[in-house]
Copies of this chain bind each other. A is one copy, B any other.
């Protein structure tokens, strides 16, 4: 009898595309006449349909949140949390993970063919917002006949979606787990995104966003943008421990002018990213982040917005995160407490800077697991 690799994990998983020949109206007033949403599911829907969790991906992520499918080289981005016996136990929960509009990994975005022009949308794909993503995830939810989410969870831009869900659909979100996120992108977030966008837009191969028509790719812009991104996802301390001032082994230099390991690492990562990511997607996703602001004009406005929430909130930040430092999370928690909604907040140490949201630790997993299972009888 052949031993199957399936023995390693019994987690049920599916990868599908929802195709809808109906208009989707974006927040900015534009629309597309039909759309696709790529999504994965992990675990099994129970009969009462009461075990559903939505996980939302960050900037460059995708619906691939756990396990490996046929063509996957790596496990999904939250594989350390989602699976049989893990924090989000797929023996118990049915997890849905959707690729966001504007992305380049399967859902409608700049690389998709526009049915009217028969060409890729490119730069003409509508600007997307966190609210647009939440609305699209709601469509999928209805399609799957899921009545409510036991939890919506995500880190970074995914955390913003979790928060937006709790605000936009208070009656169908029981819990929202908002990790390494903010209620409002800061000018520093905008500034860093703007530098990255400028690198891409000013790349000679960008052609005002119409690079496909010119058979070109703004690879240099994408590469340097990602190099910068990587710095913001790590922490000074993490880099110090991991790279220090170690020099790169001459035999494994990506280019001859590299001296330090950290330089080699960034160029290698930037180069790989530029092979798989789309430049217009980069611009759309960072713009969505810039525009995220559920605070209104002042704290009173923000409190009125938070008051709508019926879900229990869990807010987590990481001490070493300088992209969304803890004060962003504390600001949500303070105002949630002021209006008396159910919210708990914890700052965890996290050794990986902003990227800490991706990596399991005992205390991190324990806290999310207890939050998720709190109501269970």
Residues facing B in A209-235 (CB within 8 A) are 220, 223-224, 227-228, 230-231, 234
Contact call B194/A220, Cβ cutoff below 8 A: no
Q: Choose among A199, A230, A244 the residue with the greatest number of B CB atoms under 10 Å from its CB.
A: A199
Residues of B with C-beta under 8 A to A244: 187
Contact call B239/A188, Cβ cutoff below 8 A: yes
Contact call B195/A231, Cβ cutoff below 8 A: yes
State in angstroms the CA–CA spacing of A230 and B234 once bound together. 20
Q: Choose among A187, A201, A239 the residue with the greatest number of B CB atoms under 10 Å from its CB.
A: A187
Q: Choose among A191, A204, A293 the residue with the greatest number of B CB atoms under 10 Å from its CB.
A: A191
A202-B220, A204-B204, A322-B322 given; A187·B228 CB < 8 A: no
Q: Flag whether A245 is at the interface (Cβ < 8 A).
A: yes
Contact call A224/B199, Cβ cutoff below 8 A: yes
Residues of B with C-beta under 8 A to A187: 239-240, 242-245, 260-262
Q: Flag whether A278 is at the interface (Cβ < 8 A).
A: no
State in angstroms the CA–CA spacing of A65 and B195 once bound together. 29
Q: Flag whether A172 is at the interface (Cβ < 8 A).
A: no
Residues of B with C-beta under 8 A to A245: 184-185, 187, 190, 293
Contact call A262/B231, Cβ cutoff below 8 A: no
State in angstroms the CA–CA spacing of A228 and B184 once bound together. 21
Residues of B with C-beta under 8 A to A262: 187, 190-191, 194
Contact call B184/A198, Cβ cutoff below 8 A: no
Contact partner of A267 (CB less than 8 A), chosen from B198, B204, B220, B293, is B198
Residue of B whose beta carbon sits closest to that of A287: B259
State in angstroms the CA–CA spacing of A261 and B290 once bound together. 13
Residue of B whose beta carbon sits closest to that of A231: B191
Residue of B whose beta carbon sits closest to that of A270: B198
Residue of B whose beta carbon sits closest to that of A242: B187
Residues facing B in A140-197 (CB within 8 A) are 184-188, 190-192, 194-195
State in angstroms the CA–CA spacing of A371 and B279 once bound together. 53
Q: Flag whether A325 is at the interface (Cβ < 8 A).
A: yes
Contact partner of A191 (CB less than 8 A), chosen from B223, B263, B290, is B263
Q: How far is the CB of A358 from chain B (nearest CB, A)?
A: 19
Residue of B whose beta carbon sits closest to that of A199: B224
State in angstroms the CA–CA spacing of A186 and B195 once bound together. 22
Residues of B with C-beta under 8 A to A201: 257
A191-B263, A194-B266 given; A224·B240 CB < 8 A: no
State in angstroms the CA–CA spacing of A325 and B322 once bound together. 13
State in angstroms the CA–CA spacing of A215 and B330 once bound together. 53
Contact call B266/A236, Cβ cutoff below 8 A: no
Q: Offer 16 A-B interface pairs, CB within 8 angstroms, sorted by A.
A: A185-B245, A187-B244, A187-B260, A188-B236, A188-B239, A190-B260, A190-B262, A190-B263, A191-B263, A198-B223, A198-B224, A199-B224, A201-B257, A202-B223, A202-B224, A322-B322
Residues of A within 8 A of B (CB): 184-188, 190-192, 194-195, 198-199, 201-202, 204, 220, 223-224, 227-228, 230-231, 234, 236, 239-240, 242-245, 257, 259-263, 266-267, 270, 290, 293, 322, 325
Nearest 3 A/B pairs, CB to CB: A187-B239, A187-B262, A202-B220
